[in-house]
Amino acid sequence: MRPPLLNPLFAPVTSLAGVGPKQDKLFRYLLERSETPRLVDLLLHLPTSVIDRRTQPKIRDAAPGTIVTLEVTVDRHRPPPPHNSRAPYLVYAGDDTGNVVLTFFRAKPGYVEKLLPVGEKRYVSGTLQMYDGTPQMVHPDRVVDEAAFAKLSGIDPVYPLTEGLALGSLRRAMAQALQRLPRLPEWISPEVIRRCKFSDIAEALNRLHMPVELTDILPNGPFWSRLAFDELLAGQLALALVRAQLRRPAGDRHAGDGSLRKKIIDALPYSLTTSQQQAAAAIAEDLRQPVRMLRLLQGDVGSGKTVVALLAAAAVAEAGKQAALMAPTEILARQHINTIAPLAARAGMQVAILTGREKGKERRELLARLEAGEIDFLVGTHALIQDDVIFKALALAVVDEQHRFGVRERLTLTSKGNAVDVLVLSATPIPRTLVLTYFGDMDVSELREKPAGRQPIDTRALPASRLDEVVDAVGRALKAGKLVYWICPLVEESEAEGAGHLTDATQRFESLQKRFGDKVGLVHGQMKGTEKDRVMAQFAAHDIGLLVATTVVEVGVDVPAATIMVIENAERFGLAQLHQLRGRIGRGAEASICLLLYREPLNEMSTARLKVIRETTDGFRIAEEDLKLRGEGDVLGIRQSGLPGYRIARPEAHGQLITQARDEALRIMKDNPKLKGERGEALRCLLYLFERDEAVPLMGAG
């Protein structure tokens, strides 16, 4: 139930004058939406820089190569000759100090005549160039009459664009969207507004899209910060609402007598590490409490999170209930089931896997067994949250790599049972500030030790000029029967502009195949799941010895016999990602080596990153260093420098607002948990505006 006040902002952009089907497609692409974007999406697309058009010299004094605004009188037009459409359309204009030529290529008939009528005064703005000794302006950015000029601030915002979308069209759409902005209530408390010196939201949006000063659009300035706080508050409030819902007293609890857990521990070929024992005990304790569990289990690659999750599922199965584990990719889901199935079988637990690949009769039978309560632990991908997946008694939801799922998916999974306990797994150790941002105040267990018998990994960095030596060394390793990963950053040239100097995985595969023949395999993200699995199985079975791959192997691929990894263009990867990739080796009893090939010259950031990764294999230290080096986006394996799930808030500019937003959200939950009254209504507007409204229906529930 969206507050009706917001309806104008949820109108489609196609309701604006001049935005037709073609623009609709471009706006979808620009604003990363699968359906037609709405005005609110447009208004939250903020400018990245500004053009200052306030310099108004005479023609004689205008400096070539600069952006200037000239006041000119139009003298005459010279259209291109009839049969030469390539020739430019020229307009001669001037002031009392000299003349300027305004040049238009491929101008529509009649367009220029209407824009620049002969004998009239116009203001033209754009970059001035000298051409054959005459000042010239090609396609002026702005051409306006006196009345329109009086309304312009002289500062124009510049936005991220997409090919085919002109800056002018975006600005015109933006101006119309601002006109339709309703009077929004204030949802931030007066003391926070005073302390942070925030303007109201309408002023913030107007000053960002129609700047009056050059500094208006800076992310750490007052206007952007106001919107960042709104966004963070919406995020924190949604988490707090979900949290309050999860913390409601739960009925019968979910931990059994320990019999199944004992069987699993006895079936393990090694003993649990101290931190695995502590985590399992903390989870069992949570399962006994009269409130629902919400715990984050973080541990490095290979620290044994899956086994802890299995022990949690076993505790629930002892009480006759079911558990589910949702992973973001099929590779990861299959990895978990491979670890879980043999151990569960020894304990007599029934486990199954459900991904997009299980279809038809097989899927129907599996779902029937699940509903009858014959499956104790179901592992899968997003497929688990489809409507027809019905559990007899779901009591525990384990969510792997949580930041790749939204609140909505988490809620959909937990709604399939009654008072479901939640355990979140993360292979990326997350620094404390980030735990707050993504999970609110969650209990955290950390797996700090490496499992027994793991060998240290020798990591070295080499310039790409030594590629031939590396290929020779790989040849020797293959002869000795070793398994080698070769990682490339991209699949196809087209994936990134200027990717010309990057090695694409397909090219590298072809060049290595020429040298080593059918010992080489290839996996990348655009291959079908079955095909990927087939190649991985060949690698694990030593049918191929050298696997060329993109980052699809980053999570969950487990081939203990692989002991060598070459990472090409290592300077292109974030620290967390390098660490995850490297975690694919050093999993067996043999010593492993990781070679980081980089292109020179290296910038400071890349140099610092390669230094950290060479010095340590401690994921927690790497996460902290990563946060220092580059802000939060990358710590969570998400590329842009922003916060995942946040469009406006930036860690480097708004870090101190995160805790303030959290404190404000907790205060609201204490004073007004049902969001009643005027302030409550305002806060509901905020949640809908920033698409954090998944949490709103929870307030009606219980």
So what's the pLDDT on residue 605? 82
Query: 443 and 351 in one domain?
Result: yes
d(CA 104, CA 605): 43
Query: 194 and 130 in one domain?
Result: no
So what's the pLDDT on residue 482? 94
So what's the pLDDT on residue 640? 37
d(CA 224, CA 205): 8
Under 8 Å between Cβ of 47 and 155: no
Name residue, tokens 């857990």.
Answer: 261
Q: Decide if 547 is inside a domain.
A: yes
Query: 440 and 352 in one domain?
Result: yes
So what's the pLDDT on residue 491? 47
Identify the domain boundary among 447, 468, 499. Answer: 447
> Which residue blocks in 152-221 are alpha helix, DSSP H?
167-179, 190-196, 201-209
So what's the pLDDT on residue 242? 75
Identify the domain boundary among 587, 616, 645. Answer: 616
Q: Decide if 699 is inside a domain.
A: no
CA 186, chain centre distance (Å): 29
Query: 58 and 46 in one domain?
Result: no
d(CA 380, CA 389): 11
Query: 493 and 479 in one domain?
Result: yes
Domain count, the chain: 4
Query: 419 and 338 in one domain?
Result: yes
Query: 466 and 573 in one domain?
Result: yes
| Spans of the chain, pLDDT less than 70 | 246-253, 301-302, 402-407, 429, 431-441, 451-453, 490-503, 553-557, 627-645, 695, 698-702
CATH number assigned to the domain comprising residue 572: 3.40.50.300
Identify the domain boundary among 120, 151, 182. Answer: 151
Residues 517-554: pLDDT tens digits? 999 999 987 788 788 888 988 998 999 999 999 877 65
Query: 554 and 576 in one domain?
Result: yes
Q: Decide if 678 is inside a domain.
A: no
Task: For helices 407-414 and 222-246, give the axis angle rounded to 10 degrees.
Answer: 10
Q: Decide if 665 is inside a domain.
A: no
Omega of the bond leading into 140 within 30 degrees of 0 (cis): no
Name residue, tokens 């899209």.
Answer: 209
Under 8 Å between Cβ of 519 and 477: no
Query: 433 and 291 in one domain?
Result: yes
Query: 146 and 194 in one domain?
Result: no
d(CA 386, CA 383): 6
CATH number assigned to the domain comprising residue 66: 2.40.50.140
So what's the pLDDT on residue 633? 40
For the CA atoms of the chain, what is the radius of gyration? 30
Under 8 Å between Cβ of 11 and 180: yes
Q: Decide if 228 is inside a domain.
A: no
Residue 471: strand pairing partners = none
So what's the pLDDT on residue 621? 79
DSSP states of 151-163: H--SEEEE----T
d(CA 252, CA 266): 28
So what's the pLDDT on residue 269? 85
d(CA 151, CA 175): 13
Q: Decide if 204 is inside a domain.
A: yes
Task: Report CA dihedral (607, 613, 616, 618) to the nearest 10 degrees.
Answer: 130
Task: For helices 167-179 and 21-30, give the axis angle rounded to 10 degrees.
Answer: 90
Q: Output DSSP code: residue 119.
A: T
Any residues with CB less than 8 A from the CB of 44 and at least 6 apart, and which? 227, 647, 648
Domain region containing 555: 457-616
Query: 289 and 204 in one domain?
Result: no
Query: 440 and 302 in one domain?
Result: yes
Instruction: Return the HEC string of 629-647.
Output: HHCHHHHCCCCCCCCCCCC
So what's the pLDDT on residue 401? 73
So what's the pLDDT on residue 477? 95
CA 538, 541, 477, 475 torsion-angle sign: negative
What would the two tokens of residue 437 be? 């941002």
Q: Decide if 553 is inside a domain.
A: yes
Closest to 298 measured CA to CA, from 427, 442, 440: 427
So what's the pLDDT on residue 558? 73
Kindly report the backbone phi and psi dihedral angles of residue 296, in degrees, each rounded to the nearest multiple of 5, phi listed first: -105, 125
Q: Decide if 222 is inside a domain.
A: no
Residues 246-279: pLDDT tens digits? 666 665 667 788 999 999 999 988 889 899 999 9
So what's the pLDDT on residue 77? 95
d(CA 127, CA 137): 6
The amino acid at 643: L
